[in-house]
Every structure is written in structure tokens, then in C-alpha cells.
């Protein structure tokens, strides 16, 4: 049977080693998003408009999450800027200040940045729920922040995100 015939298209976002920056040296949230956007673009995952669109969205809808274990940010933008699904991860050597999600002026010192590239907008909510659940699991953020290399970070994300099919 031809695999392209009328089967629903699933969108399994993954972290790839070339999309991981650890340790990341970033002066600001803008710098961090720009570095991760460059990796996504170089890998053919996003259009050249992705970084600017993500920066603009971040100014309006901040993505910093003050999770008790450590701050996380999940910058993303609309599907029209994406070519294929992926997650790029940055682990700054020093925390980077991001605006707090749902706050007008709150700031979060972020230790883990996960930029999202999704080709279907309806898949984004599912991915955000999975990531937040993953980040709230005790010890996961500490594992990511303490990983020695990109392969270790990829393995942690694969363990948590690939355990169930993504629709």
C-alpha cells in the first residue's frame, strides 16, 4: 500500500542534535531566539521569516514559565513560517531574562529555551501541553540543564515526547 494515500498526516516534532546549543552564550531573549532560529533555518525546518515572526510574537505574548525547578521559555510563531516540525533547544550558561507568560511586566530567569516549529497550528496546543507536562516532571529540567552534550538532550526529549503518537 502506498504510504502517501489518504492516511492522516501526523506531525512528530523532534529535537535533533544540530538543533541543540549547549552551552549557549546569549545576552538576551532576542539573542537566544535568533541563535536557535538560525539553527532551524540552516536545517531547513523554517522559512527565513521565522525568527523575526517569533521575536515579534514574543514581544506581545511572552513565553517564559517560572517552573519551580528552573525557568523555561517556549518561543514559537505561526505555522506559515514553518517547513517541517522540529524543536530547537538552548541551554544558556547563564540564565536569560524572558517575559513571563500571562504577565505584562514579569520576568523569568530562563535556563532552558525550547523554540517550536510546527507546520499545523492545531498541533501546537498539544505540543505545548506535552512540553509543560514534561517540564513539571521532577528532575527533568535538571537533567536537561546538566546534560553533557546535545545527544543526551535529544535522548531526554525523545524519552518524554516520543512515548506516545503525536496527532
Mean pLDDT of the chain: 90
Whether residue 166 has pLDDT greater than 80: no
C-alpha cell at 99: 517575559
- For residues 25 and 167, the model is more confident at 25
> Which pLDDT score is estimated for 163?
67
In a domain, 142, yes or no: yes
Q: For the segment 63-78, what is each residue's pLDDT rounded down to a tens digit?
A: 999 999 999 999 999 9
Cα dihedral 152, 90, 71, 121 sign:
negative
Q: For the segment 134-162, what is each residue's pLDDT rounded down to a tens digit?
A: 999 999 999 999 999 999 999 999 998 87
* Number of domains, the chain: 1
In a domain, 115, yes or no: yes
In a domain, 9, yes or no: no
pTM over 0.85: yes
88 beta partners: 115
Q: For the segment 86-111, what is each residue's pLDDT rounded down to a tens digit?
A: 999 999 999 999 999 999 899 999 99
* Residues 6+ positions from 30 with CB-CB distance below 8 Å: 55
In a domain, 4, yes or no: no
In a domain, 56, yes or no: yes
Amino acid at each position: 500500500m502506498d504510504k502517501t494515500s489518504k492516511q492522516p498526516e501526523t506531525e512528530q516534532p523532534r529535537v535533533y542534535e544540530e538543533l541543540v546549543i549547549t552551552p549557549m552564550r546569549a545576552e538576551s531573549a532576542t539573542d537566544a531566539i535568533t541563535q536557535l532560529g538560525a539553527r532551524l533555518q540552516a536545517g531547513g525546518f523554517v522559512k527565513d521569516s521565522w525568527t523575526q515572526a517569533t521575536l515579534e510574537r514574543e514581544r506581545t505574548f511572552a513565553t517564559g514559565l517560572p517552573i519551580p525547578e528552573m525557568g523555561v521559555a517556549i518561543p514559537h510563531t505561526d505555522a506559515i513560517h514553518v517547513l517541517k516540525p522540529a524543536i530547537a533547544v538552548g541551554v544558556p550558561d547563564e540564565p536569560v531574562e524572558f517575559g513571563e507568560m500571562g504577565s505584562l511586566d514579569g520576568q523569568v530567569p530562563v535556563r532552558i529555551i525550547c523554540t517550536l516549529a510546527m507546520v499545523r497550528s492545531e498541533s501546537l496546543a498539544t505540543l505545548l501541553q506535552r512540553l509543560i507536562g514534561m517540564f513539571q516532571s521532577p528532575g527533568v529540567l535538571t537533567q536537561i540543564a546538566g546534560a553533557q552534550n546535545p545527544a543526551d538532550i535529544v535522548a531526554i526529549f525523545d524519552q518524554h515526547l516520543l512515548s506516545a503518537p503525536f496527532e
